[in-house]
Amino acid sequence: MALYTKAAEILEKVERKEGAVKTLVYESKFQNIKQLYALVCETQKYSSVLQDIIISTKLLKETKLKMNLAKVLLYDFLIGQGLKCGGSWKAVMMKHRSRLQAALARMKVKKKVSRNQDLLPPGIRKASEDQLPRYVRVNTLKTTMEDVIDYFKREGFSYQGQAARLDDLRSLSGKTFLCDQHLPELLVFPPKMDFHAHFLYQAGHIVLQDKASCLPAYLLNPPPGAHVLDACAAPGNKTSQLAAIMGNKGKLVAFDLDAKRLSTMSTLLLRAGVTCQQLANQDFLKVDPESPEYRGVEYILLDPSCSGSGMVCLRDSSPAPPQEEEARLQALAAFQLRCLNHALRFPRLQRLVYSTCSVHKQENEEVVSAGLQQNEGYRLIPVLPSWPERGLEPLTQCLRASTTHTLTHGFFVALLERRPPSSEDAAPMQLSTTASSPEISVSNENWEAGTVSLDQDAAEGNKGKKKKKKRKGNTKSQC
């Protein structure tokens, strides 16, 4: 019974946008993590189907169950491998068995399908077919690429060298793996390969992190000794990657408002061998850029709260009405623009990466465009010319990521750099970089920001609405 109680609790937290599914599952410290994660993901995938059955059979009224608990029980009872509990809950489901099965059968007849998976909404069905590779980032604070590759080879894995194209990642199967074509410290394995119980993961030698999520720190590329801020840091994978790039030398300040998430991040950073960090349980927007503590900041990674629309496991099977969704996106975009404007106020800032795990232009290109219009001392820098998916016009200097074009979660990344103090047509400034500097192509041409309208007053008005409907806003880090 504990399995279903915990699964329902996590689904409720996901609905309140308190975190990603995987993070919440692993924070739960449930005995069988793999079983819990599978149940939560599958229930979430079939959420709209299960909800229709529950409503049509009036199951909540008959059983006094809450919606999310009813969903996890019904998933295993009708679609999964059968209920893994006895007692009163099993008795309740068995009592209504014929009505529940009949409701599922009627739904299939109505939609003219024979398989359960064909009942899924098109977007969810496509997402379930998008099998993303398992990305493994090597933590160079504790080991080397060569040692990790050798370790896996001794375990019977076959190393295929460095990928030359995206199709190389699609063709992975069995115990084969390769080195990513864009990120030099990223290994790629076949989909669903699970390393959570592996020695290298538990010892902090490898980090399980989606490729797109590795881009912000890689492109920011702060050199050893730099003063760096991670403005919305939890759960901490990007923070540990920044520390590895810096070689644990310098000052890395990580902000997060949630004390519990910060505590979890502290454990993660300890396991990763990070020693240059300073954790700050405070609101980044309230930090004084001119204070002695922060006026020397040179690099900022800004990954603010977002809709999470690019995360495969967070895609909503029952989206909000268009008007409500647009209001929510405008409120998020206004918050993100506040964060960007605040970050660009740090007097010695040289480079900033803005990123989201959203696919919406309101949270991505429009925020960056507005930020550049309001901060003329900064410019957009083109990055990774070989990356297959670019930002929407006219911001093609930015990167986008998706399940179809890059075999990753949906993501957006923009690199901003302070303009040289001389004339606008001066050569781009030369920043000190590490030996493994990312591929960055800088144009001397002036860039003109596109027009964007972000109504701050309307966004402020949306904040009042958030109290009535929690799904309209989000002020906690999701990615």
Q: Is 237 annotated as a binding residue?
A: yes
Between CA 477 and CA 19 the distance in angstroms is 7
Which one-letter amino acid corresponds to residue 52?
D
Is 349 exposed, middle or buried (CB count within 10 Å of its CB: 0-12, 13-18, 19+)? buried
Burial class (CB in 10 A: 0-12, 13-18, 19+), 22: middle
CB 236 within 8 A of CB 260: no
DSSP label at residue 390:
B
Question: Which residue in this structure is represented by tokens 């957009």?
Answer: 380
CA count, 13 A, side-chain hemisphere, 178: 20
The answer to whether the annotation marks 238 as part of a ligand binding site is yes
**How far, in Å, CA of 408 to CA of 39, rounded?**
22
Query: What is the arrangement of strands in the sheet containing 158-162, beginning at the earlier edge strand?
Result: 158-162, 176-179, 186-189, 134-138, 206-208
Is 474 labelled as part of a ligand binding site? no
Which one is catalytic: 214, 276, 357, 479? 357
Report whether 303 belongs to an annotated binding site.
yes
Tokens 């919406």 -> residue = 360
Known active-site residue 357: yes
Burial status of residue 12 (CB atoms within 10 A of its CB: 0-12, 13-18, 19 or more) = middle
347 marked as part of a ligand binding site: no
- Distance (Å, whole) CA 279 – CA 252: 8
The answer to whether the beta carbons of residues 341 and 308 sit under 8 Å apart is no
Number of Cβ within 10 Å of residue 9's Cβ equals: 16
280 labeled binding residue:
no
Alpha-carbon distances of 344 from 164, 271, 288, 423, rounded to whole Å: 37, 32, 12, 20
Q: Return the beta strands (E) in 294-410 as ranges.
A: 299-302, 351-356, 378-380, 399-401
Contact 334, 457 (CB under 8 A): no
Nearby residues of 106 by Cβ (< 8 Å), 6 or more positions away? none
Residues in binding site for S-adenosyl-L-methionine: 232-238, 256, 283, 303
Residues in binding site: 232-238, 256, 283, 303
Q: Catalytic amino acids? A: 357
